[in-house]
Amino acid sequence: MSDSESKKRDEEERVETFDPKDQERYYMPREVRNILKPVYLSHKDEMQFRCYPGISCFNACCNNIEIILTPYDLIRLRRRLNKTVEEFLYEYANPGTLQKGQIPVAVMRMDEETGRCPFNTDEGCTVYEDRPVSCRYYPIGMAMMRKQDQGQEESFYFLIKEDFCKGHKESKRWRVEGWRDDQGAAAYDELNRGWMEMVLKRRSAGDMAKTSLQLTEMIYMASTNPDAFRRFVFESTFLQRYELDPKVEEALKHDDVALTRFAFEWLKAVIFGDRIDMKIRDGVLEESRGNLAKKAALLKKKEAARKRREQEEKEEF
Ligand code: SF4
Ligand code: SF4
């Protein structure tokens, strides 16, 4: 068997196809279908694929899909459409969650009647240069995992081969890393790194890291709304509690990407105790210890009062 035949056979063995008759699985989001039985690819693995206007299946992949909007997707899309975050989310997104409701996310809203992506036209994608990262990756899916014996996250990829997509029959071959670069997906991953790490850590922590409603709202704010997170930093008591490097502080005022990165560094520090390059101002720790001591004393007092009441009730009987 020649090298190219053996590569082709290896690829076919790695590839998973979905039978449309398997209704339950066919209508699951792409990522979920693959997670059920992931077929791993590394940066160096190859796939055979080409997509171009005029291909018989043109636009078939832009219907009935679940597109999780990453923080950088939202920054790019709303800039492109010259909309505020609120306007964009209201017109084009629904709230959703990842990991059994633990991570709130924005999900692109497909047309209710046609199932079509709002940016899809017969001529193709109207936001192509700013399309979301999952559209860039397709037909590859990307996921991250943390190996138990290593502190670091590792990315892996899987090929999504759906019957309607004819691009797999084209002869052009790509390495995964070449496809990522060609589509601009690698640059998106870099800018979304903090968010991806937080999602992964939240999954690894399981029930050990229950987040409060307030923190869940913070995660959604950091993931979708840099303007609101900026107001939180500059208009709350945040800067009275934390001392930022003046250059960082200046960048946070104007730069949505810097602000989003900072937001996830801060959230990882608050939720998982990660290190963050930021100083807590003098007196803040003492003040919060004092507040904690006051709360503890109050709880003790309430508990003593409850026990006294119980005792009195027993004595009455
Ligand atoms: S954003 Fe563009 S590429 Fe992505 S699903 Fe919509 S139309 Fe297709
Ligand atoms: S080849 Fe695949 S990715 Fe390209 S338009 Fe057709 S279905 Fe979509």
| Confidence at residue 52, expressed as pLDDT on a 0 to 100 scale | 93
Which residues make Cβ contacts (< 8 Å) with residue 138, sequence separation at least 6? 30, 61, 160
| Confidence at residue 43, expressed as pLDDT on a 0 to 100 scale | 86
Indicate if ligand 1 lies below 6 Å from the C-beta of 48.
no
Q: Are 219 and 71 in contact (CB under 8 A)?
A: no
Cα 256-258-264 angle, rounded to 5 deg? 100
Parts of the chain with a pLDDT under 50: 10-28, 31-36
Return the residue whose CA atom lies nearest to atom 2 of ligand 1: 125
CA dihedral 159, 151, 244, 263 (to 10 degrees): 30
Shortest-distance ligand to the CA of residue 140: 2
Indicate if ligand 1 lies below 6 Å from the C-beta of 117.
yes
pLDDT in tens, 211-249: 678 888 889 999 999 999 999 999 998 988 888 999 999
| Confidence at residue 23, expressed as pLDDT on a 0 to 100 scale | 47
pLDDT in tens, 51-99: 999 999 999 999 888 899 999 999 999 999 999 999 999 999 998 887 6
Ligand 2: atom nearest CA of 50 is 1
Residue 96 sits at φ, ψ, to 5 deg, of: -145, 180
| Confidence at residue 1, expressed as pLDDT on a 0 to 100 scale | 58
Return the residue whose CA atom lies nearest to atom 8 of ligand 1: 62
Indicate if ligand 1 lies below 6 Å from the C-beta of 278.
no
Q: Are 74 and 224 in contact (CB under 8 A)?
A: yes
| Confidence at residue 169, expressed as pLDDT on a 0 to 100 scale | 93
Which residues make Cβ contacts (< 8 Å) with residue 306, sequence separation at least 6? none
Which residues make Cβ contacts (< 8 Å) with residue 191, sequence separation at least 6? 71, 72, 257, 260, 261
Domain ranges of the chain: 3-199, 203-238+252-276
If you measure from the C-alpha of residue 136 to the centroid of ligand 1, how many angstroms do you get, rounded to a whole number? 9
The model's pTM: 0.77
Total Cβ atoms within 10 A of residue 194: 19
Indicate if ligand 1 lies below 6 Å from the C-beta of 125.
yes
Q: Which two tokens stand for residue 11?
A: 């690829």
| Confidence at residue 263, expressed as pLDDT on a 0 to 100 scale | 93
Which residues make Cβ contacts (< 8 Å) with residue 9, sequence separation at least 6? 1
Pocket test for ligand 2, best of 165, 170, 172 (most atoms within 8 A of CB): 165
| Confidence at residue 311, expressed as pLDDT on a 0 to 100 scale | 84
